[in-house]
Amino acid sequence: MTPGAACWTVFICGFDRTFFPGRFAPAGVMFVMGPELLGRLLDERAAALALYARQWCAAPDDVVQEAFVRLAAQRPVPDDPVAWLYRAVRNAAISTGRAERRRRKHESAKAPAGWFLPAEGAALDGATAAAAVEALPPKEREVVVAHLWGGLSFEQIAAITSVSSSTAHRRYQAALAALRERLGVSCPTETDRPG
């Protein structure tokens, strides 16, 4: 046999035997994918399979990995493992792509247009405000979103973020000050309030 030839390991009466393609196995013997062949297929074909899957989905590496896991579990081993891999990757990538498109369509239909809904007579542009919120440090943004949009109290935010309620409140105050500065909005005073 040539070095590096494809082979399968079979189990006969508790003993491991190695067979090579083109030779017939005894009746009742089931071929099992050996780790050498699986590793070689992974090394030689994974990149090309990912490129192949990329035309249908955004997560080709996940699809390829799942196909190799399914190949390792195949009983009996497919006659042509490479062709089987391409078919499995193609089918999984198409299904994954469909699921991704469905999810995006569903999420875009359910999601509001942006962070802010336009208010009549509002002097503040929603896109500008959204950009200002996104520019906040992550810890401050988390508190602002949880408090203003989530309606959570500072005690609830403190429990979620593993800080004290006073720290959550300080982050909220710092975020509001940063937003006022970025947006050029001053803090309203008693004389500015309607009433």
Segments making up each domain of the chain, as ranges: 34-110, 126-180
Task: Give residue 70's pLDDT.
Answer: 94
Task: Give residue 32's pLDDT.
Answer: 66
Give the architecture (CATH level 2) of 126-180.
Orthogonal Bundle (1.10)
Q: With 0-12 CB in 10 A as exposed, 13-18 as middle and 19+ as buried, what is 20?
A: exposed
* Residue 53 burial (CB count, 10 A): 25
Confirm if 53 and 88 have CB atoms less than 8 A apart: no
Residue 127 has which token pair? 């896109």
Query: What tens digit of pLDDT does each residue of 47-85 get?
Result: 999 988 998 999 999 999 999 999 998 888 888 898 899
Q: Of 8-17, 118-127, 184-193, give the lowest mean pLDDT range.
A: 8-17
* Residue with the larger pLDDT of the pair 172 and 161: 172
How many Å separate Cα 65 from the centre of its chain? 14
pTM above 0.85, yes or no: no
